[in-house]
């Protein structure tokens, strides 16, 4: 299958592109290139690379394409809050422009990287499924809600987008991000011999390894669109729902028993425990391979092997810091 992968040069896209290629797909990457230099090692290149911005997407990039995997966007809550209007323009407007171009070109297979962050705040006692109310607390989370709505408006018998509401990503990528909770705590432990929390550790987060995100996308690319298309699916597994303090304890134990520091309650109010029964029923072949423990061990081993255990203060691996640096140029 010829796949257009937007955002292929980012944290998830770098892993996604290589994974899809190993599964026999031909990947045409589409990326603005903001994070080209934010690499720990040379990533596997796409079969073909197009530089572009989804806000001004040129339909010529769709020539010969069978399916689209749409990752491109402003990628997390702090970055989204930097400029909410820009977040809307890129994440909602760009998604709509790309989807309209796909539909006009007769490409019905469109996989959208959505997010469980749209659930926002819950007490953690009940796992939230796709029917639960959405409570987006940030511009980024709201943009995912609105982008999904835009895709639903375009859905018909031939254009059948699938929205994968991913749990919180973690794990190694050649273009690593340290503004993700697991990655950040590991980097803190390796560089400073302490697991430094930015909260009291009580909020809940569902987790998914970046390679398991690629596995979910592969399932969506192979799906029966008549039966499964035009819908949204939480992407992850219940066993990987954790309170942040539990994540911290796992990181600390696997980094030699380093201490944990926490902050008083307040600040970040996001907390959600998520159910994943729908994706299991729809895509029986999707089974996440990674666990928090194996993901932490792999990340530690790779950073040590690369001699990059002191990168916790490097702005290149924090999306908000990198965008601010680019804006200052």
Is 188 among the domain residues? Answer: no
Task: Give the Cα separation of 137 and 286 in Å (integer).
Answer: 29
Binning pLDDT at 50, 70 and 90, where does residue 38 land?
confident
| 234 domain-assigned | yes
* Rounded mean pLDDT, 318-329: 72
Q: Which one has a higher pLDDT value, 328 or 97?
A: 97
Q: Is residue 326 part of a domain?
A: no
Q: Where are the beta strands (DSSP E) in 33-147?
A: 48-51, 67-70, 109-115
In this predicted structure, what is the pLDDT of residue 327?
A: 64
Residue 292 has pLDDT above 90, yes or no: yes
Per-residue tokens: 314: 């490097």
Note the pLDDT of residue 264. Answer: 84
202 occurs within a structural domain: no
Provide the domain limits for residue 125. 2-176+207-239+272-290
Residue 266: inside a domain: no
Q: Give the phi and the psi of residue 23 in degrees, each rounded to 5.
A: -90, 10
How much is the average pLDDT of 167-185? Answer: 97
Coil, strand or helix at 311? helix
Residue 326 has a pLDDT of 66
Q: Average pLDDT of the chain?
A: 93
> For the ranges 32-36, 190-194, 264-268, which has the lowest average pLDDT?
264-268
Distance CA 67, CA 2 (A): 7
Question: With b meaning 16 or more CB within 10 Å and e meaning fewer, what string describes 272-289?
Answer: bbbbbebbeebbeebebe
pLDDT digits (tens, 9 = 90+) for 131-149: 999 999 999 999 999 999 9
Residue 246 forms part of a structural domain:
no
pLDDT digits (tens, 9 = 90+) for 40-94: 999 999 999 999 999 999 999 999 999 999 999 988 666 666 788 989 999 999 9
Helices (H), the chain: 11-22, 77-82, 84-88, 94-104, 139-154, 181-192, 210-221, 225-228, 244-254, 277-282, 292-306, 319-327
**Mean pLDDT (whole number) for 108-115:** 98
Predicted pLDDT of residue 270: 81
Q: Is residue 255 in some structural domain?
A: no
Domain count, the chain: 1
- Percent of the chain exceeding pLDDT 90 equals 84
Q: Do the domain assignments include residue 249?
A: no
Helix (H) or strand (E) holding 179: none
CATH label of the domain that carries residue 72: 3.40.50.720
CA dist 3 and 102 (Å) reads 12
User: Which single residue is written with the structure tokens 């079969």?
Assistant: 47
């Amino acid at each position: 299958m010829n796949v257009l992968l937007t955002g292929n040069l980012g944290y998830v896209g770098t892993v996604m592109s290589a994974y899809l290629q190993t599964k026999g797909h031909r990947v045409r990457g589409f990326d603005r290139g903001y994070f080209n230099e934010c690499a720990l090692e040379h990533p596997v290149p796409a079969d073909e690379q197009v530089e572009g911005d989804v806000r001004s997407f040129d339909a010529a990039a769709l020539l010969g394409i069978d399916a689209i995997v749409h990752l491109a966007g402003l990628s997390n809550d702090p970055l989204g809050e930097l400029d909410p209007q820009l977040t809307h323009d890129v994440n909602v407007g760009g998604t709509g422009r790309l989807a309209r171009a796909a539909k006009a070109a007769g490409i019905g297979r469109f996989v959208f990287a959505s997010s469980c962050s749209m659930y926002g705040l819950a007490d953690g006692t009940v796992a939230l499924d796709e029917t639960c109310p959405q409570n987006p607390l940030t511009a980024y989370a709201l943009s995912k809600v609105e982008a999904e709505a835009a895709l639903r408006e375009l859905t018909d018998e031939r254009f059948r987008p699938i929205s994968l509401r991913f749990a919180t990503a973690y794990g190694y990528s050649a273009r690593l991000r340290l503004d993700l909770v697991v990655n950040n705590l590991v980097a803190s432990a390796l560089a400073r011999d302490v697991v430094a929390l930015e909260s009291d550790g009580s909020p809940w987060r569902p987790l998914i390894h970046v390679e398991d995100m690629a596995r979910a996308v592969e399932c969506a690319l192979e799906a029966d669109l008549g039966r499964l298309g035009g819908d949204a699916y939480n992407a992850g597994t219940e066993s990987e729902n954790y309170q942040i303090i539990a994540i911290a304890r796992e990181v600390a134990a696997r980094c030699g028993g380093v201490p944990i520091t926490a902050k008083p309650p307040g600040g970040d109010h996001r907390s959600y425990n998520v159910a994943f029964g729908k994706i299991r029923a729809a895509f029986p072949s999707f089974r996440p391979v990674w666990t928090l423990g194996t993901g932490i061990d792999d990340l530690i081993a790779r950073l040590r092997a690369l001699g990059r255990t002191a990168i916790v203060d490097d702005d290149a691996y924090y999306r908000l810091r990198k965008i601010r640096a680019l804006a200052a140029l």
